Amino acid sequence: ELSPLRRRMIEDMTIRNLSPATQRSYVHAVAKFSRHFGRSPDRLGLEDVRAFQVHLVSTGISWPALNQTVCALRFFYGVTLGHAEIPERIVYARSPRTLPVVLSADEVVRFLEAVSSLKTRTALTTAYAAGLRASETVGLKVGDIDSERGVIRVEHGKGGKDRTVMLSAQLLRILRVYWRLAKPQGWLFPGRNATRPIDVQVLYSACRSARAAAGIDKRVTVHTLRHSFATHLLENGTDIRIIQVLLGHNNLSSTARYTKVSNGLIRRTTSPLDRLNIEVVPPG
């Protein structure tokens, strides 16, 4: 049973159309904050927030995770509790700039072919072929694959925005084999309960296992595949403006210009997957 305070926070996040993953993350962060002091979070103040941040840093928490906690607490105090003056006083950590991990084309092949499950291999191949986030990959429906137009529709990406990405010819062939064998209905990658999509944790776990099996000495996540997608496109001469649109990092000022990029060029952009030779079905 939810407490009234937690229920109100969830309602506030739902009203603002925060993604389910963001909602879970924010609730978890505020609950962890509350447990640390053994008090309800609405009875804790700025000094407590500061002490909690010091505690998190002492545990070796990553900078992105620390800043995600900051986002959660700023939302909780500013929106749910209505203390408009507090959020700006909860400071973000300055993240050190590091280069993203990128796989070579050969490493992508070795990695994907080391994924033993048909469903997770197809899902991770889709993530690489279209540069999708983990949440966008698991959220795909069968109807989002538009083979006639040669595109994939991504609904409710980061920030709740929809976008269109290319449908690789190689990926389409893989998806057709997958569909013939798995017969998905509704969700393209259903979970154990077919009414829900596969959990992102399944993809994370598959990445860890495949990295070890392929003997790759790099940390590989779904986001690594996304970085590799963008880097391989750039290396193959794709315009950076198109890559931004494909990734959902659209900063173009005009809606008409965005439409021109998506409709006129995305279908003609070659996915880096089309330059690789990937086995469709895992052996056995």
φ, ψ of residue 234 to 5 degrees: the values are -60, -40
The candidate with the shortest Cα–Cα distance to 262, out of 187, 133, 186, 161, is 161
d(CA 216, CA 224): 13
Catalytic residue among 161, 196, 218, 249: 249
Catalytic residue among 119, 163, 226, 232: 226
Told to judge if 77 belongs to the known catalytic residues of this protein, a careful annotator would answer no
Catalytic residue among 8, 223, 227, 267: 223
Told to judge if 218 belongs to the known catalytic residues of this protein, a careful annotator would answer no
Told to judge if 223 belongs to the known catalytic residues of this protein, a careful annotator would answer yes
Catalytic residue among 74, 121, 133, 163: 133
d(CA 39, CA 62): 25
Catalytic residue among 158, 227, 241, 267: 158
d(CA 129, CA 265): 16
Provide the sign of the torsion angle of the four alpha carbons 144, 12, 61, 98, taken in this order. positive
d(CA 173, CA 180): 11
Told to judge if 158 belongs to the known catalytic residues of this protein, a careful annotator would answer yes
- Catalytic site positions: 133, 158, 223, 226, 249, 258
